[in-house]
A and B are shown apart, each in its own frame.
Chain A
């Protein structure tokens, strides 16, 4: 039913967007990414391929496919056993967009859909977004509206028996435990301040309801192991901003980012970040970034052994605790023009990207590493 609705929405988007002709040629791009995440109890390997085309009518069609192989110890299963398991997640996205010329202004509209499937989780989502460009594109007003619907299930993990010893029946799939839904709305404003500086501010509101816990996390209360219980709704607000300035003499860009987050579970967080970009010739850009994250605990968070039978909600989620984290990242982007005289000359207009982030996480997850390598190539 949800799939059919998404197909209908996508079809309507194509019809709406493909009505006016603009004399352009076909253009496109393709990208291939290798993503890796490591922490003490989790490894994630996630290759991703994405691409898009722009038709002569000015309609953008883009999509992506991501394969997420998550190998994890039992930290999400209640920290009882040290047994590793691997899950595969498949995610596909599809989107359409077009810019409409309104004379003194331009309006770009986009519609994006997403589906994600793993053995115990099926997620769907659709987002509509737009950007109104004013004053020769010096002022950009953005907005977005989104909706998600997830089916949350539970399968056997770790060392638990997968078949009934008496009947031999397959017990791997323990069925759906709940649904999670959410709506989001966002607005942003970007302004060119001068020939070398821009600023952007925005606000996102997300409201989720339904099953907001994790069926694999449990808490011992009065000697009984119970699946964590979170409130059934959550409203989340984020205010964020970004200031960028460029030094022409040195070819250096300085970016300052900031986010203030509040929700009705009493989780509040501040996320300042600084980035320095250094251009080396016309082919290489290096980036160094530092991100600080600090959050307050939710109103129902306690140490796992401190809950009692009178608590309405209880959690084993490390994300509900008060903690801080630091991220230090290096990044290099290299233009592939040097391949022009080689058998790989079809890549000469592309770029290769290398990214490495180290996370000092004050939460129970422990330190982590994000590593990425990607190549993107324009298609003409």
Chain B
């Protein structure tokens, strides 16, 4: 557990130290439909609910536990 947290912190630190600024006018590819995942929010809620009710794990999508009687 502690080792995993250390790896995550190291990854975060390495990302911050290598931060680059890609200007808005250079981010056309990142706005393409296959890179902009904001359009998937409508479908992901129900799918996350299915996974939460069928798997012991949760997280990564803002879940707080509970929510319905399908636990």
Interface residues of A (CB under 8 A from B): 31, 33, 35, 37, 44, 46, 48, 50, 66, 68, 70, 76, 87, 89, 91, 114, 116, 118, 120-121, 123, 125, 127, 129, 135-139, 144, 146-148, 150, 152, 180, 182-184, 186, 189, 191-196, 198-199, 201-204, 206, 208, 212, 214, 234, 236-241, 244, 246, 248, 251-253, 255, 259-263, 265, 267, 269, 271, 277-279, 285, 287, 293, 295, 298, 318-320, 325, 331, 333, 351, 353, 355, 357, 359, 361, 363, 365, 368, 370, 372, 374, 376
Contacts and interface: CB of A to CB of B under 8 A. Distances in A.
B8 to A, nearest CB: 6
A192 B22 contact: yes
Chain B interface category by residue count: 35 or more
A199 B46 contact: no
B64 A125 contact: yes
Interface string B50-66: 11001111111011111
B22 A138 contact: yes
A182 B45 CA distance: 19
26 contacts: A31-B42, A37-B50, A44-B50, A89-B68, A89-B69, A116-B67, A135-B19, A138-B22, A139-B16, A146-B64, A182-B64, A184-B62, A192-B22, A193-B20, A201-B11, A203-B8, A204-B59, A208-B65, A234-B65, A240-B59, A259-B57, A279-B33, A325-B54, A331-B43, A359-B54, A374-B43
Given A238-B59, A251-B32, 11 more contacts: A144-B62, A148-B67, A184-B63, A191-B16, A236-B65, A246-B29, A246-B34, A253-B34, A261-B59, A265-B56, A269-B56
A136 B59 contact: no
Contacts, number: 214
Contact of B34 (A194, A277, A318): A277
Contacts of A238: 57-60
B62 A70 contact: no
Interface string B17-29: 0011111101111
A368 B64 contact: no
